[in-house]
Structure 1
Amino acid sequence: MTNTVKAHDPSRRSLLKLGLVGGALLATVGGIASLSGDGDDQPAPGYLALRTGDLPFLQALIPVILDQALAGERLPVVMPALLRDIDLGLASVSPALLSQIRELFDVTSSRLTRGPLTGVWQPWQETAPEQIAEFLLRWRDSSLALLRQGHAALLQMVLMAWYGNPDAWAHCGYPGPPSI
């Protein structure tokens, strides 16, 4: 019998190793981000769960995710309600899930981790919508499951807040819930 060597055959074991290495890398980066942050887990004034450092990221992210649904002139009117609805949603999740979401916000907001993990090196307030869209695509298509999960979590938070908001209903032709 002749032994043949396959050039590249990703086995389940090599995929598990890659996942473990990626998870360890993200946990390390997340730990560094949380250590380098201000350590303030207190909600921002007027919020139940969102912290002051979370707001610039969300304010930059929401218009990109809702690009086709939210016209620019409506953004200043709708943004406070969307942030409030995201906050209310986060205030009602389990402490473990809230901790994970806060780690996600820490990683995307910390100067040490934002650039390497998102490709966005400047503060979110100074980031062009195209760069934010590229970051979202990079995370969506990442080979690391944690980045794909982070992408899904960000989209779900924003979309749940948007489609729960009566301002969004007219855009999609929904007349609203039945009245009794």
Structure 2
Amino acid sequence: MQRRSLLKLGLVSGAVLALAGGAAVLLRPGLEQGRLSASARGLFASLGRAILQGTLPVDAQACSRALAGMVERIDALTANLPPAVQAELSQLLGLLCTTPGRLGLAGLAPAWADASEAQVQAALEGMRFSSLALRQQAYQALHEIVGGAYMSDESTWAALGYPGPLPL
């Protein structure tokens, strides 16, 4: 194969993959009518396990309840975001919930639900310290959403050493 043919093949393949990825995001948005899709819920549960390591309850049932509550608070948050922010978040979540998007943006091969906590943490660290601003921004958004949603519940405050707001 000649170099010119190889370059053409690479460009055409890249364009096809970009179109397919864009179509997948349009067909599987991260938010459906302002609410988290099932795949986005799974994404945030996996992110919660990785980001909140050490602050989640040790008991498996309590941990599951804490993560489910966090996902519900994220769902309530997304429903109250302005439409433009909802659209951007939906694109990010839709992209991360597809295999090409997850590989390209997070560098994670297994699906979010199938990935170990260490794999998700490594993917997040890759995004955090990436030279691409887009990956860093995606990391910051996901980190802030997960941390804010989890720590906004009073039941988490004692484990974090936060006594709560001062009485007025």
TM-score (norm 1): 0.74
Evaluate the alpha carbon distance shift between residue 85 and residue 116 of structure 1 in structure 2; reply closer, same or farther with a 3 A threshold.
Answer: same
Q: 2:37 aligns with which of 24, 28, 51?
A: 51
Shift of 1:32: 4.0
Q: Specify which structure has the higher proportion of helix.
A: 2
Bigger radius of gyration: 1
> What residue in structure 2 maps to residue 110 of structure 1?
98
Runs of at least 4 residues of structure 1 off by over 6 A?
Answer: none
Pick which of 153-162 and 70-79 moved more.
Answer: 70-79
> What residue in structure 2 maps to residue 71 of structure 1?
57
Q: 1:160 aligns with which of 135, 141, 148?
A: 148
For structure 2, the residue ranges without an aligned partner over 5 or more in a row are: 1-13
Q: How many residues are treated as equivalent by the alignment?
A: 149
RMSD: 2.2
The one-letter code sitting in structure 2 at the alignment partner of 1:95 is P
What secondary structure sits across from 1:126 in the alignment?
coil
What secondary structure sits across from 1:83 in the alignment?
helix
Evaluate the alpha carbon distance shift between residue 50 and residue 175 of structure 1 in structure 2; reply closer, same or farther with a 3 A threshold.
Answer: same
Q: Is the 8 A contact 2:40 2:93 kept in 1?
A: yes
For structure 1, the residue ranges without an aligned partner over 5 or more in a row are: 1-24
> What residue in structure 2 maps to residue 16 of structure 1?
none
Evaluate the alpha carbon distance shift between residue 179 and residue 108 of structure 1 in structure 2; reply closer, same or farther with a 3 A threshold.
Answer: same
Question: Percent identity over the alignment?
Answer: 23
TM-score (norm 2): 0.78
What secondary structure sits across from 2:134 in the alignment?
helix
Pairing 1:117-132 to 2, within 5 Å after superposition: 117-132=105-120
